[in-house]
Amino acid sequence: MREAATQANKPARGRTGNRLVAALVAVLTVVGLTGVVAGQATARIGGTQVGKQEFFINGCGMPDVKVRAWKRPGNYKTVILLDGMRAQYDYSGWEINTNVQEMVKSGVNVVEPIGGPASFYTDWDAPSNFNGQKYRYRWNCAITRSLVGALDKRGFRVGPSNRYAIMGLSMGGNAALVIGAQNRQHFDRAGSLSGYNFLSAPGMRTALRLAMFDVDPKPWNIDAMWGPPWSIRWFQNDPFWNIGNMRGMKLFVGSGNGLFGRYNALPNVFDDLFKGSTLELLAFTQSKAFEAAAFVQGVPLMTYYANGTHAWGYWQDMVWNAKNRGFFR
């Protein structure tokens, strides 16, 4: 299997004064960071059959990656949707738990790469030695090279800008922002839904380490991803330190606030309270920190905040909210 080499991008350089002010604002915003765990969802495969297709792409040294997509002639945009930390290998959580594939009927093609639990959709330094992983993750390569190339050949690159949108939830949210910012030739808009948008904030590495201990096949070794806490790769893959590369992009940042909303009900109240609320409060503080830093650096955002926990119904609402407000136009 072909192994493609990638070179990590350096964080964007900006004015020292702006960076210091942004960091101070963000640190003051991010409080009460705690260990996190990922919530569960109820499977309900179904939805539209319009333009549905399935294919496999080269995994850049990983096993080939399955992709499911929905495409209709005349649509004006294509969005790549990234999954969360408990991503499965049969279907994307987006297809299992939401109706966002229906956007294909009203202008937006939908693409869902499948797999990559606890991967953060990045190129890891090494295989995870804690759980005996046989290969190292190369998700950045798979998305920016293999997937984009496959989509181009299948006619998914549409619209006036001739570039893609990319969005993700949870771990896929911060990944979408970084992938978009560092690959502007392919992406002109990116969205983070309940994502970790300030990974270098105090306590975040410990929080993510604890979260990855609980994802099957567990436990994952976070040090195999971007190296030790002092590694430059932590900053290269932090949306906060990539804001300078996002000028001119359309950006969407959404999060619940950890409070119960319309999708919290029996029999999931226990998990929603002790898992979903904690995780979403973390995402909320991270989103607010990112928003503050973007404001300081003069980068506009489209934002969405509402009552809600770390659950699929709220992410579905965020995607439709983005579409209805013209994010994909």
pLDDT digits (tens, 9 = 90+) for 258-286: 788 788 776 666 666 656 677 888 889 99
For the chain, which residues make up each domain, given as ranges? 52-325
Q: What pLDDT does 276 receive?
A: 63
Nearest to 173 by CA among 261, 256, 90: 256
pTM of the entire structure? 0.86
| Contacts of residue 171, Cβ cutoff 8 Å, sequence gap at least 6 | 84, 85, 118, 119, 120, 121, 195, 196
Q: What pLDDT does 278 receive?
A: 76
Average predicted confidence (pLDDT) for the chain: 86
- Count of residues in the chain: 329
- Residues in the chain with pLDDT values less than 50: 1-17, 20-43
Outline where DSSP puts E strands in the chain. Answer: 52-59, 62-70, 77-82, 108-113, 164-169, 187-193, 250-256, 302-306
Q: Given 3-state DSSP classes, what are the helix, strand and coil percentages for the chain, each rounded to the nearest 5?
A: 35, 15, 45
Superfamily of domain 52-325: Alpha/Beta hydrolase fold, catalytic domain (3.40.50.1820)
d(CA 154, CA 92): 20
Percentage of the chain beyond pLDDT 90 is 72
